[in-house]
Structure 1
Amino acid sequence: MSVHLHVYICLCVCVQSSAETVSFALPAPPKPTVTLQPSWTQIYRGETVTVRCEIQGGEGAQWTYGWRRGQLKLNETSREYRISRATESDGGGYRCRCRRSSSWTEWSDFTALTVSCKLNIFLSFILIYIGGPFIWIHRNKMGMVGDIKVLFVAH
């Protein structure tokens, strides 16, 4: 657990002026975490994902957020970083930190996001040759090929 040391000076004026320094340690806010919505760490080009910075016990507080993708500072200060129409350049390790008053939390751990080329396999027509094969390809919701069947039609 990290601690921030704050020094407060109390000045009492009586017959003589005197200053007394009192030091005490305040616990640092907890380390934030990065989550993805939807929670998939791999998405496809053109999809939308929201990267969210969460800090335990931070509900209701006025936070400012800092974001990085790798070492690149992102121009976002809110709790959520929304990626619309993702491209491969949106992939990388995302991390955040939070600031309340003048004190920043430490950086969260990286959360990886991979943006891949979308697998677009659609059959717009099927040619059937008597005695020859044709291919039937089924694509599931995640863009992955579910099954491929080579069928033969007899005379």
Structure 2
Amino acid sequence: MASPSVESAAEAFAAIALAAVACDGELANLEIRALRQQLEFRTPYRHYSEKTMGDLLDRLLAILRGEGLSTLVTQAVSQLEGAQRETALAMAANLIHADHIQTPEELSFLSQLAEQLELGAERATQILEVISVLHRDSLAG
């Protein structure tokens, strides 16, 4: 039986989200909840049943566990184009900020993802900076 692979833009987008929360070697409950929230209001996921969403995440987890993070991301990137790539980077950054702790592994992941998505250094930096500003605790004393 062939290994599962990322076969559509919808799967790719979810794969990038999963990779973002898994890139530090942990899948914390807060991160999984944030992943689901990021996907559930978007098309096509908002139309997925709980079972369909669970099956999708199970397939992607199988790729992650069997082939590794790098393969999951490489397969996903090949399915995305244009604005999808920009949004995928922004969503990944948003998920990495979800727990308010950015590890060196997470920051390295974002840098590598930005390169793989081929958005251009300036555009990728803009996206990452905006997400960072969004998560800044500017009212903290």
Q: TM-score, normalised by structure 2?
A: 0.21
- Could you say which structure has the higher strand fraction? 1
Bigger-Rg structure (1/2): 1
- Could you say which structure has the higher helix fraction? 2
Q: TM-score, normalised by structure 1?
A: 0.20
